[in-house]
């Protein structure tokens, strides 16, 4: 991974190389606040110990880039490709993410106060309905597909992926993928001691309500049979 010097980044910011690519590069221990990186491609790049406040990332590509712990206060990510970017512990206070695509982006412990989004922002809002009863599906051991009723009073969350979590659900059916065979029980792929039984309720008492913590306590489910089967 090539390490980029601040002088090169200053040249890009001032427009000498705008719209170019800095894929798979290392940028570390510098203050780039106020720089203009609009349209730049930082795919698979790593930012370590970098201050990135009020930076213009409009239309930029930071797909699968590592920015953990960076301060991004007030930066603009309008229409940016942020898919699978790692943003753990980032300060994103006041960031503008209108029109950005955050599919699979990691936002664990990120500070999101005053963040600006709109209807064009992809994968930032909840994937599952926030109110009312809903149906969910999950794949279990031996390719058994469980259909769940998530009641209106169940807590539910989702991060930046199609997978969702809830605090309790009722098992409606357990079937093979092609629905030709029905079963009475199914075992979780993650916790072999967690059993789903047809007609019974399941509940997770220590449900983690932090929606950005994806791999944590809760009943994981998908909104469609197809999503669950593809898991």
Instruction: Determine the average pLDDT of the residues in 207-211.
Output: 96
Instruction: Determine the average pLDDT of the residues in 29-35.
Output: 97
**Torsional sign, CA 78, 101, 98, 69:** negative
Q: Write down the domain spans for the chain.
A: 1-125, 134-230
pLDDT of residue 193: 84
Does 133 or 17 have the greater pLDDT score? Answer: 133
pLDDT digits (tens, 9 = 90+) for 104-119: 999 999 999 999 999 9
User: How far does the chain reach from its first CA to its final CA, in angstroms?
Assistant: 32
The DSSP call for residue 143 is G
List Cα–Cα distances, 27 to 30, 152, 169, in angstroms.
8, 47, 46
Residue 100 to residue 189: CA distance in whole angstroms: 33
> Does residue 37 sit in helix, strand or coil?
coil
Mean pLDDT of the chain: 95
pLDDT of residue 19: 66
pLDDT of residue 14: 85
Class of domain 1-125: mainly beta
Question: How long is the chain?
Answer: 231
Dihedrals phi, psi of 9, to nearest 5 degrees: -70, -35
């Amino acid at each position: 991974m090539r390490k980029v010097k601040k002088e090169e980044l200053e040249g890009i910011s001032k427009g000498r190389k705008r719209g170019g690519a800095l894929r798979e590069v290392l940028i570390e221990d510098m203050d780039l606040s106020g720089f203009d990186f609009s349209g730049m491609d930082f795919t698979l790049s790593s930012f370590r110990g970098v201050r990135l406040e009020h930076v213009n990332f409009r239309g930029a590509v930071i797909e699968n880039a590592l920015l953990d712990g960076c301060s991004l206060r007030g930066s603009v990510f309008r229409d940016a490709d942020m898919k699978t970017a790692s943003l753990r512990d980032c300060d994103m206070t006041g960031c503008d993410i209108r029109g950005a695509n955050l599919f699979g982006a990691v936002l664990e412990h990120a500070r999101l106060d005053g963040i600006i989004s709109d209807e064009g922002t992809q994968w930032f809002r909840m994937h599952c309905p926030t109110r009312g009863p809903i149906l969910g599906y999950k794949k279990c051991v031996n390719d058994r597909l469980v259909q769940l009723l998530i009641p209106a009073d169940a807590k539910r969350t989702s991060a930046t992926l199609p997978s969702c979590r809830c605090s309790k659900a009722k098992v409606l059916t357990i079937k093979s993928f092609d629905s030709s065979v029905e079963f009475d029980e199914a075992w979780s792929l993650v916790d072999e001691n967690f059993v789903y039984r047809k007609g019974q309720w399941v509940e997770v008492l220590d449900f983690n309500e932090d929606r950005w913590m994806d791999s944590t306590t809760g009943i994981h489910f998908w909104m469609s049979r197809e999503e669950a089967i593809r898991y």
